[in-house]
Amino acid sequence: MTNASQSRIAGWRSWCWTALLLLPVTLTGCLKPLIMLGYLIGGPPSIEPDFDVMTKKSMTEKDVTVAVVCYAPLEVKYDFFAIDAELAKYVTYRLVQHKVKVVNPDQVRAWLDENTDWDEPSEIGKALNVKYVVYIDLESFNLWEEHSNNLLRGRSEGLVSVFEIDSDGEGEKIYTKEITSKFPLAAPRQSTEVPYATFKQQYLTRLSEEIGRLFYEHYNGDDIGDAT
């Protein structure tokens, strides 16, 4: 292929994606065919994981093993008793899906249950012999729209940190990111439209995806399906 041809193709790809970005959000129903056209022309524009950008490291590197730990305060666990274990499992599944080697969450939970006096996430990393500990501090979690008892909308806030464990078992916090999550993005759902348990699963899937994207590549347009 000549340089001129390559230049024309690159220009066409750039024009397509610029046009898509300039379309009004109100045309969401029309965007999907155009996004598919962009995918066919040049593939979806990918977004580099924030962890990789900030640390110049990657969880998909060879011989890297990760443990996922979630902490939820008593006021959150009062309404969602096992939310810490549930979210850790969902995030683990997301990372495994994207080729990250992660310790079985049941193994992590067993260690936590046997060592209730643990103080630092690095202790978990040392005990389980991993390179990184992903520590999720879930400050709030709810499945209801504010000031409503018949509208479902997942909402949560928290802090995601990563501790790197060296060869001596010492840990250092190398990454921190605040998370503020809301699902669905555009509007809440009527509780009569979807069973509560089903909606909880849907939101944990969404929240774990938001957290997981900090550590693996994703694409523009991935959130369209979660708008409503």
Pairwise CA distance, residues 97 & 115, whole Å: 29
**Whole-number average pLDDT of the chain:** 85
**CATH number, domain at 99?**
3.40.50
Pairwise CA distance, residues 138 & 70, whole Å: 7
Low-confidence ranges of the chain (pLDDT < 70): 1-44, 221-228
- Tell me the pLDDT tens digit for each residue of 26-44: 444 555 565 555 555 555 6
Nearest by Cα to 85 from 16, 93, 219, 119: 93
pLDDT at 41: 53
Could you tell me if 22 and 124 lie in one domain? no
Could you tell me if 25 and 58 lie in one domain? no
Could you tell me if 24 and 62 lie in one domain? no
Could you tell me if 90 and 33 lie in one domain? no
pLDDT at 88: 98
pLDDT at 16: 47
Could you tell me if 16 and 80 lie in one domain? no
- Tell me the pLDDT tens digit for each residue of 218-228: 887 555 555 55
Could you tell me if 185 and 130 lie in one domain? yes
Please give the structure tokens belonging to residue 111.
């260690």
pLDDT at 185: 87
| Contacts with 62 (C-beta within 8 Å, 6 or more apart), sequence order | none
Could you tell me if 114 and 29 lie in one domain? no
Could you tell me if 19 and 97 lie in one domain? no
Range of the domain at 13: 3-42
Task: Please check whether residue 156 is in contact with residue 138, taking contact to mean a CB–CB distance below 8 angstroms.
Answer: yes
| CA dihedral for 32, 38, 43, 47, sign (positive or negative) | negative
Query: Is beta strand 132-144 parallel, antiparallel or unpaired with respect to 65-71?
Result: parallel
